[in-house]
Amino acid sequence: MLQKNTSGAPCTRDTRIIRLADNLGVMTIAPYGESIIHVAIFPSEPFVLPMWGVTAAPDASVKVEITDTESGYTFTLPNLEAQVDRATGKVSFSDARGRRLTELTGYGLSPAEVSGESTFRVSATFVASDDESYYGLGQHQFDMMDQRGRAVRVWHDYHGENGEGESIGVPFLVTNKHYGVIFDNPSRTTCTPGVDAQTAWTSEVGDALSFFVVSGDTADDIYFAYRTLTGETPMPPKSALGYIQCKQRYRTQDEMLAVARKQREKGYPCDIFVVDWDHWKVRGDLDLDTDYWPDAAAMCAEMKSMNLRVMMSIWPRFMKESRHYDALESRGWFMKDAEGNTVYGIPEDQRGAVIDTTNPDAGEYYWNAVREGYATKGFTSWWTDENEPDVCPYPFYLHAGTGARVTNIYPLTHTRAVYEGHRRDMPERCLILSRSAYLGAQSNGTTFWSSDISATWDFYRRQIPAGLNFCATGFAYWSSDIGGWQPLPEKPERVPVKVLLDPEPAREIIGLHDDYPELYVRWFQYGSFCPTFRAHGTRKENEVWSFGPEAEKILVKYLKLRYRLMPYIYSLAHNNNRTGAPFMRSLWMDFPNDPNVRDIRDQYMFGPAFLVAPVTAQAAESREVYLPAGASWYNFWTGEMFDGGRSITVDAPIDTLPLFVKAGSVIPVGESIQHTDQKQKNIELHVYPGADASFDLYDDDGTTYAYEQGDFSLTSIKWNNAAGKIEITGDKAGLFSGSESQWLKIVARG
């Protein structure tokens, strides 16, 4: 391994960038923001790095101070500083308060040949303190919150490391010590946080070592830095925050319409229905089989008349018999093998070739085909299934480079192709449901989900930390398939001694799985407090009335609660658009001074007010809930108040999701509606006293990008706890164009 040492190395610099060189290579240090430093180490002269997903450039407006001392060099930004030791080459990072954040102690470029090209294996080692915890790195379903002490594979894997569910590799690690590291390398990378007092990164392919250190006093400061580097998350259509009805699968146009009509006849809230895979004659047609979907345009029009939108599953796979295969093959726009031949699946999966959307021209073709086949018929949002892609590019070749070099970028370029085409050609905001992600994919109008998980209590339980770490990686929108995607096996692993819901009304759907209605209800309760709220699964029926009247009553309760909370949730979406901060939040983000929350994996904050504690044990009718220190807490259902910093046992009968509200909260609550096109004219401000509070209530037209030109309303709400008064102000406290008057009513909850 090449071990850098800058002893005696000359240092050249302009007023903004340090460049250190010796016979072993060149190190550059550059500012990308007031709290963002980029470090790169090249084997020889610096060159332009691809930086997949990073859209920012060095920031010329940031004040930079560079000093040269006897011991080394100091690179100072307003909120972050790097000190380079002249003798050892180590780089230490401190924040504006003088707190030592971390230190780069070792780094190397080891020559290697991978996929036929000469390259380097890249490594870097950072100091890890004893009380440091680590979050992010994408989605990993191994039931961990704090990832300290584990080697994490940072690459996409449909099966996961041990078959525990799909892994999504995103090289962004966030700690509880006021900093994060973005490791700029899309090849197969391993990160070992906090092992033997160090955090090590190793990547299989790279021409240089490249990483960013970002810092902040709060977790939200770190996510603002991530947003600065990789792009903002657009406002989703408001419908994306409502209920999405889906199953594997609605097989015909008539079947979907019948379910949609029944949803409306029952008066149950819903905004989006989904047409899943196998709706085509041939995979790759990017069109519907008219034997089963004879008039998709008429179907979408009827759905629209019921204020329901339709999402379409679009795959990146093309069979030879499909209408687009020959055009793509003739242009060389499929993933290739070492001999330059199209990779037509793999031996155990011959379901077609993968379009190479790392090539922008192929991406443009793909969107145009989607628009022609689906958008012209009235479909408005896109499910980019299998976009890891599921035929792993690692041993193959893409336009952007060898599969080994750019293993992780496909979901970034694939969703970008769809997003950019949609924004150009369609008036309604883009919504993409993506199965995988990479740095910057949040800027493509995306929400994500945890793939084809099993319908078990174990998989359900592991969704909570998996989703929290994924959101901690800088992605606001995520969900799991409520109820699990995989079909229930013929025989259950065990027969429960006790079940909380009568299984008999659902027997035709659940088979011998007596506890499944209970599992579905518990999962649905959790899903109603996820950023995206979507049911899915391989079941004969999968609607809220499918699991018996007892279950139906409970499911509708949470459907209606979700929609009553839409003013709160939509305002959280605005805050994410503005700041980059996720709103499904691990407890360490909001309670950094409470060490007890660092590895809590089954509770989280949903925005600034709600503490959510899902029930994940079969037949449980109570659970222990830890109430973080530094606040008092109200039981949402009973109004009882508790001091923080302790655990309590909470009643949780089958109709109750344990919910607490932080004292010092204002929650805007609207009237019941059936879909988000209905305006909630009468907003109640539910005040939970005990501390001062503030909340920015946001609204816009919910569908277009007019908000980017300032067409929105923003109402600033402040609660003065000592005075017992609320103040409502703001430059945009009035209306956005086309809106109706908004009446705010104060409701005391304390």
Residue from 350, 286, 348 nearest 316 by CA: 286
List, in sequence order, every residue forming a beta bridge with 174; answer none if it has no partner: 135, 180
Question: How far apart are the C-alpha atoms of 285 and 262, rounded to whole Å?
Answer: 31
**Element of type H or E holding 205:** strand 198-206
C-alpha distances in angstroms, 421 versus 181, 255, 276, 366, 630? 32, 30, 21, 9, 47
> What percent of the residues of the chain are helix, what percent strand, and what percent coil, each to the nearest 5?
20, 30, 50
CA 74 distance to own-chain centroid: 36
CA 170 distance to own-chain centroid: 11
Q: Out of 207, 356, 388, 481, pick the active-site residue.
A: 388
To the query of whether residue 130 is one of the catalytic residues in this protein, the response is no
Question: How far apart are the C-alpha atoms of 310 and 300, rounded to whole Å?
Answer: 7
Residue from 523, 475, 515, 517 nearest 498 by CA: 515
Q: Out of 287, 452, 552, 594, pick the active-site residue.
A: 452
Any idea how long the chain is?
750
Please, what's the largest Cα pairwise distance for the chain?
A: 80
To the query of whether residue 684 is one of the catalytic residues in this protein, the response is no
Phi, psi of 708 (to 5 degrees): -70, -20
To the query of whether residue 696 is one of the catalytic residues in this protein, the response is no
Which structure tokens are listed for 251? Answer: 């097989």
Would you call 73 helix, strand, or coil by DSSP? strand
- Tell me the pairing of strands 446-449 and 432-434: parallel
DSSP per-residue codes, 527-546:
HTTSSSEEB--SSS--STTT
Beta-carbon contacts of 326 under 8 Å, excluding residues fewer than 6 positions away, are none
Phi, psi of 188 (to 5 degrees): -60, 120
CB 680 within 8 A of CB 673: yes
Q: Out of 157, 356, 385, 594, pick the active-site residue.
A: 385
C-alpha distances in angstroms, 10 versus 75, 280, 423, 639? 16, 63, 49, 66
Question: How far apart are the C-alpha atoms of 245 and 675, rounded to whole Å?
Answer: 13
Which residues are identified as catalytic?
385, 388, 452
